[in-house]
């Protein structure tokens, strides 16, 4: 058995099986049950792990091949009688098995140290209704305390955009910003005010402002250039059209709108001496270069100042909100799951790596750590597991086992950071790595689709050679179209080809990629041609998706189940309605509130008027 092992396991490659085998191997080597912690992200996955441990142990009692595999990894012979003894030990010691979700493990620590963490005896996890009440009370109190600046705060919170469902939007924004407020200190929120953060040699954007006379001078120059082109438009119609878009915005001081113009963005990128691109080529009218760059830098300065004001306004709002919200929960002697994680992380950091107080109060040390789905770990969760990981990897007789796949990181909305999984090998000593890319679940044809999309993309050379498929822009390689973050991900992308297992190599499979054409995407008119029955662009896309599903449903003989995945639940009712109109039965599996129904929203509006 490898003492410290990190496995990068793709979907369907048997992660749970490997973890359950690891657990049984430790038991076979004589490790006491309470000294092993097996943890994963959700309660459901925890139940699967526990079931798999017991099922594998039962199978090994009769399956010689499985028992031989266990014996080989445990470095000892295991007879059928010994395996039955292990099974008996697990069943009789079921209450001692530490197989739990991350949240459950953190709650156990917090329950052992309520006073040290700052809680009262008998604290509880708040239910959603009570938490929602405290959340709204905190919002109302925060806005009341800042009632003179409420309108400004809300405008900055939404970047000046108008919002119809204002209350829901405020609530959603504040929930999304709360974790950011807690992770970043005050200095981070005020970093835009510090001129030292800008790239060395780069001029502070707050020094890019033009005075009124300079703006008028540039405006007059651009208008004169348009008149010259009108007199002799030969080959300059496109640049004239671009100038006609930006001149009105300069005239009315719409600097944010100006910053969104492509020509202005290219001019800003050319400020350090690079070429000023226009329509994929360098701009040939040299006299336009300087005024365009100057006005682009001015619009950027306005944008940065607006961003600074917005960030500071949001910090003010979140500072007041979080203080009131946290105190309200402490007064109610209740916490959310995220609160438990945060308070536990702060407490463990104060221990400075000394875990003995935790082991003493939990009645047993944790000498063997088994972690599943670790790609979804948040920073606070990592702060808790870091000393446990060091303890298990640095001691003789202790072990560490971690399995995950950054391609399956789906809990970003809960602050999951897949980068943490990549950092494990550099954090803990003596970590060995393995890859597991053999799928026991998917058909070979499906795996060929995955390999074609991801493996070929990773092999796409990031060099100056332009590819013919590079987004239709001649002479521009695909990588150059990405921002710096995406380029970093491109350069570090690791993908190993997936292959089918002996069990799944004969599974039937089929795949097809379909893309909605631009004409259908932009056509707002309903299928019956009635202009009054127009739909939004989003509805047009959903109708197109419904047509594709209906076609597949008919071709499959109306007997197969079709799964449809959404990024969010909000669009599910609309697609379901379109499918029902086509006579296709639909089951909505997401948790959609009643307020997503148009009829319910109209009724709520009526009640508000009453």
- If you search the block for the tokens 């780069």, which residue do you land on? 202
Residues 438-448: what's their mean pLDDT?
A: 90
- Cα separation of 548 and 535, whole Å? 18
Instruction: Look at residue 73 in the predicted model and tell me its pLDDT.
Output: 84
Q: Is 36 helix (H, G, I), strand (E, B) or coil?
A: strand
For residue 119, what pLDDT is reported?
A: 86
What local confidence, expressed as pLDDT, does residue 156 receive?
60
pLDDT of residue 197: 61
**Can you tell me whether residue 416 is helix, strand or coil?**
strand
| pLDDT reading at 517 higher than 50 | yes
Q: In this structure, are residues 208 and 301 in contact, taking their beta carbons and an 8 Å threshold?
A: yes
Q: How confident is the model at residue 291 (pLDDT cuts 50, 70, 90)?
A: very high
Q: What would the pLDDT profile of 522-566 be if each residue is shown by its tens digit?
A: 554 444 444 434 446 678 889 999 999 998 888 877 667 888 888
Q: Does residue 273 sit in helix, strand or coil?
A: coil
Backbone angles phi, psi at 107, to 5 degrees: -65, -35
Is 163 a residue whose pLDDT tops 70? no
Please, which pLDDT band fits residue 195 given cuts at 50, 70 and 90? low
Segment 429-453 mean pLDDT: 87
For residue 378, what pLDDT is reported?
86
Which DSSP letter does residue 375 get? G
Confidence band, pLDDT 50/70/90 cuts, at residue 56: very high
Nearest to 402 by CA among 411, 414, 393, 412: 393
Would the pLDDT of 209 be above 90?
A: no
Q: What is the mean pLDDT of residues 237-245?
A: 90
Task: Write down the pLDDT at residue 213.
Answer: 92
Distance separating alpha carbons of residues 478 and 481, to the nearest angstrom = 6
66-92 mean pLDDT: 91
Element (H, E) at 598: helix 598-609
The mean pLDDT of 279-287, rounded to a whole number, is 79
What distances in angstroms separate CA 16 from CA 7, 65, 117, 202, 316, one per listed residue?
12, 19, 34, 51, 45
Confidence band (pLDDT; 50, 70, 90) for 161?
low
pLDDT average, residue stretch 220-240: 87
Distances (CA, A) of 610 to 164, 165, 606: 19, 18, 6
| Of 16-30, 47-61, 342-356, 561-575, minimum mean pLDDT range | 561-575
Q: What is the pLDDT of residues 585-594, one digit of tens each?
A: 888 876 666 6
Find tokens 């296709």 and name the residue: 584
Q: What is the pLDDT of residues 449-467, one digit of tens each?
A: 888 877 755 454 444 444 4
User: What letter would DSSP give residue 395?
Assistant: S
Both tokens of 560, joined, read: 């197969």
Is-contact 39 105, C-beta < 8 A? yes
What's the confidence (pLDDT) of residue 480?
65
- The residue-averaged pLDDT of 67-96 equals 92
Per-residue confidence at 402, pLDDT binned at 50, 70, 90?
very high
What is the rounded distance in angstroms from the CA atom of residue 276 to the CA atom of residue 278?
7
d(CA 388, CA 390): 5
Higher pLDDT among residues 239 and 569, named by residue: 239
With b for 16 or more beta-carbon neighbours within 10 A and e for fewer, the 60-74 pattern comes to bbeeeebbebbbebb
User: What confidence score (pLDDT) does residue 92 get?
Assistant: 94
Question: Which residues lie across from 37 on neighbouring strands?
Answer: 98, 369
Q: Is the pLDDT score of 236 beyond 80?
A: yes
Mean pLDDT of all residues belonging to the chain:
82
What's residue 595's pLDDT?
66
Residue range(s) in the chain whose domain bears CATH number 3.40.50.300 = 4-119+345-436
Neighbours of 152 (CB within 10 A): 13
CATH 3.40.30.10 fits 4-119+345-436, yes or no: no
Given a cut of 60, is residue 322 above it in pLDDT? Answer: yes
Q: What is the pLDDT of residues 360-398, one digit of tens each?
A: 999 999 999 999 988 888 888 999 999 999 999 987 889
Q: What angle do CA 477, 481, 482 make, to 5 degrees?
A: 120
pLDDT band at 275 (very low <50, low <70, confident <90, very high): confident
What confidence tier does 596 reach under pLDDT thresholds 50, 70, 90?
Answer: low
Give the 3-state secondary structure of residue 6.
strand
- Among 410-419, 536-545, 595-604, the minimum mean pLDDT is found in 410-419
Question: How far lies 434's CA from each of 12, 166, 403, in Å?
Answer: 16, 50, 9
Q: Is residue 277 helix, strand or coil?
A: strand
pLDDT band at 159 (very low <50, low <70, confident <90, very high): low
Which residues are CB-contacts of 241 (< 8 A; sequence separation ≥ 6)?
none
């Amino acid at each position: 058995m490898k003492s410290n092992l990190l496995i990068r396991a793709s979907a369907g490659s048997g992660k749970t099986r490997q973890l359950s085998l690891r657990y049984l191997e430790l038991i076979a080597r004589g490790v006491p049950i309470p000294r092993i912690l097996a943890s994963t992200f959700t309660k459901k996955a925890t139940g699967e792990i526990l079931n798999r441990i017991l099922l594998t142990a039962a199978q090994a009692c009769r399956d010689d091949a499985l028992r031989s595999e266990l014996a080989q990894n445990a470095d000892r012979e295991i007879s059928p009688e010994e395996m039955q003894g292990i099974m008996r030990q697990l069943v009789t010691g079921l209450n001692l098995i530490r197989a739990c979700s991350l949240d459950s493990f953190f709650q156990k620590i917090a329950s052992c140290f309520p006073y040290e963490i700052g809680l009262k005896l008998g604290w509880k996890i708040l239910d959603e209704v009570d938490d929602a009440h405290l959340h709204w009370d905190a919002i109302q109190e925060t806005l009341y305390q800042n009632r003179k600046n409420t309108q400004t705060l809300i405008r900055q919170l939404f970047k000046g955009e108008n919002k119809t469902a204002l209350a829901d939007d405020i609530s959603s924004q504040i929930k999304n910003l709360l974790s950011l407020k807690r992770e970043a200190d005050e200095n981070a929120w005020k970093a835009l005010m510090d001129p030292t953060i800008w790239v060395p040699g780069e001029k502070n954007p707050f020094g890019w402002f033009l005075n009124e006379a300079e703006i008028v001078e540039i405006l007059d120059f651009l208008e004169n250039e348009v008149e010259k082109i009108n007199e002799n438009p030969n080959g300059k119609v496109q640049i004239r059209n671009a100038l006609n878009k930006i001149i009105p915005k300069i005239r009315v001081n719409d600097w944010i709108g100006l910053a969104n113009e492509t020509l202005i963005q290219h001019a800003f990128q050319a400020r350090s001496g690079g070429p000023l691109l226009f329509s994929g080529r360098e701009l040939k009218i040299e006299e336009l270069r300087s005024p365009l760059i100057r006005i682009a830098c001015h619009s950027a300065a306005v944008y940065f100042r607006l961003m600074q004001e917005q960030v500071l306004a949001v910090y003010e709002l979140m500072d007041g909100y979080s203080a009131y919200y946290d105190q309200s929960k402490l007064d109610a002697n209740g916490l959310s799951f995220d609160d438990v994680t945060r308070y536990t992380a702060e407490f463990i950091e104060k221990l400075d790596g000394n875990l003995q107080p935790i082991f003493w109060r939990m009645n047993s040390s944790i000498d063997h750590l088994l972690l599943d789905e670790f790609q979804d770990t948040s920073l606070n969760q990592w702060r808790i597991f870091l000393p446990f990981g060091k303890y298990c990897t640095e001691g003789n007789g202790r072990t560490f086992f971690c399995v995950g796949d950054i391609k399956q990181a789906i809990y970003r909305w809960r602050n999951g950071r897949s980068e943490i999984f990549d950092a494990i090998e550099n954090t803990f000593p003596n970590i060995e790595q393995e890859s597991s890319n053999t799928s026991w679940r998917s058909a070979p044809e499906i795996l060929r689709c995955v390999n074609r999309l991801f493996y070929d993309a990773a092999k796409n050379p990031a060099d100056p050679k332009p590819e013919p498929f590079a987004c239709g822009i001649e002479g521009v390689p695909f990588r150059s179209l990405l921002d710096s973050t995406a380029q970093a991900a491109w350069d570090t992308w690791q993908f190993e080809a997936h292959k089918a297992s002996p069990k799944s190599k004969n599974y039937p499979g089929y795949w097809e990629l379909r893309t909605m054409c631009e004409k259908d995407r932009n056509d707002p008119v309903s299928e019956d041609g009635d202009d009054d029955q127009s739909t939004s662009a989003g509805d047009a896309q959903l109708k197109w998706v419904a047509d594709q599903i209906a076609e597949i449903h008919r071709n499959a003989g109306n007997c197969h189940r079709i799964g449809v995945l959404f990024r969010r639940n909000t669009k599910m009712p609309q697609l379901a309605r379109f499918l029902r109109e086509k006579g296709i039965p639909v089951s909505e599996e997401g948790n959609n509130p009643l307020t997503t129904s148009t009829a319910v929203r109209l009724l709520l509006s009526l009640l508000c008027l009453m």
